[in-house]
Amino acid sequence: MSEAAHVLDAAAVLRLLPARPRVLGLGEPTHGEDALLDLRNDLFRQLVEHEGYRTIALETDCLRGLVVDAYVTSGTGTLDDAMAHGFSHGWGASAANRALVRWMRAYNVRADRDGRPASDRLRFAGFDGPLEITHAESPRQALTALHAHLAAHLDAALLPCTAATLDDLLGADDRWADPAAMTDPARSVGQSPEARRLRAYADDLTVLLEAQAPRLTALAPGEERHRAHLHARTATGLLRYHHWLADPSPLRMSRLIGVRDHMMAASLLALAERGRVLVHAQNAHLQREQSSMRMWDQPPVEWWSAGALVSARLGGEYAFLATALGTIRHRGVDTPPADTLEGLLYDLPDRPALLDASRLATALADRRPQPRTSPWFGYAPLDPAHLASVDGVVFLRDVPETQPRSGAL
């Protein structure tokens, strides 16, 4: 297997692909391990310095991500502020994420000092919705920001409602974010009369944003328009998510996860319009195969991932590298069985390796590797049946509990 493995770097990645992709996905099989984020940081730095990539998109709240992007691009706030308020899921505490944001800001400071154009600046984006495992946020921030953008540039008579009407219908934010609604549809307000009116207003405001594009393009800077479309997508997506949160049918979870990945895909396609993007997320959000998982005692939940949706739109301009791991011993994930994909790769040198997925699938065809079973719920092994739809496999033999580099770039 060693003859098919390459040292992981940007040049090796792009040699695997027929052309530089507009969206390059780097998946991970588990969250919260800085060793994987260090690997991501190194790859992004190389893509920036040698291949013209300028944006990184992470699996974090798209609205909070605006805080990080403002710091990275213009120095708004402080690094501590960006880490505290610009990430969801608690990922602002990661040393590797902090190192990434610090490096991006330093790169942009140098670019400004050297007089390079604004298009050369690095951009940060979250591409997840304002969603947590425990709850979904209120649509207030996105919906009121969209309304404010339109009200600032259009005649008030064109708007379907006033800001005060939205405020009355939204009510208290904590009723939208009630954690009990994740397991009890009856606790959700997503199908209340107020929510139904808000969905209609969000739809009307989004159509107005698009229908008035010639006027708005002339009146508002490009970055303001980009944010307005982000707020429109997020407002409609969140209201759709809350609607299905209140649904008691057996397909409830499939619809919820499908809505989430649809929101992710829409954000990635919008980012791709601005230039090439490295996106980093869990493998299941980036794969081309249909995703599935089992929750509680219910039948498997199935949905099409953001990667599958983006691939359907961009074709060859989307590429996906899936990461596979040997061990995470501090999580109880020990040496993989020899008949699994990870077990067959475990003899590779102890450094990040890149393998051509199609060649790997051919080489392993006679061995028929078995799917690996994880003893820890937080780690999802790579399904060997998915190799045919993956562009490359990144393999890390052992994930240490502590990483000496601590997120360095």
Do residues 32 and 377 make contact, with C-beta atoms less than 8 angstroms apart? no
Cβ contacts of residue 158 below 8 Å, gap of 6+? 150, 208, 212
User: What span, in angstroms and rounded, lies between the C-alpha atoms of 376 and 334?
Assistant: 10
Give the pLDDT of residue 1.
60
User: What span, in angstroms and rounded, lies between the C-alpha atoms of 24 and 28?
Assistant: 13
User: What span, in angstroms and rounded, lies between the C-alpha atoms of 136 and 142?
Assistant: 13
DSSP H helices, 220-322, are 222-245, 252-272, 283-286, 306-314
Residues in the chain: 409
Give the pLDDT of residue 350.
86
Do residues 232 and 150 make contact, with C-beta atoms less than 8 angstroms apart? no
- What tokens does 230 get? 């982000």
Q: For residue range 99-116, list pLDDT tens digits in order.
A: 999 999 999 999 999 999
Tokens 């790769």, residue located: 345
Helix (H, G, I), strand (E, B) or coil at 32: coil
- Residues of the chain predicted below pLDDT 50: 404
Give the pLDDT of residue 404.
46
Could you say which DSSP state residue 275 is in? S
Give the pLDDT of residue 297.
66
Do residues 108 and 122 make contact, with C-beta atoms less than 8 angstroms apart? yes
Residue 180 backbone dihedrals phi, psi, to 5 degrees: -65, -25
Give the pLDDT of residue 403.
55
**pTM metric for this prediction:** 0.95
Give the pLDDT of residue 329.
96
Q: CA triplet 257, 263, 267: central angle to 5 degrees?
A: 145
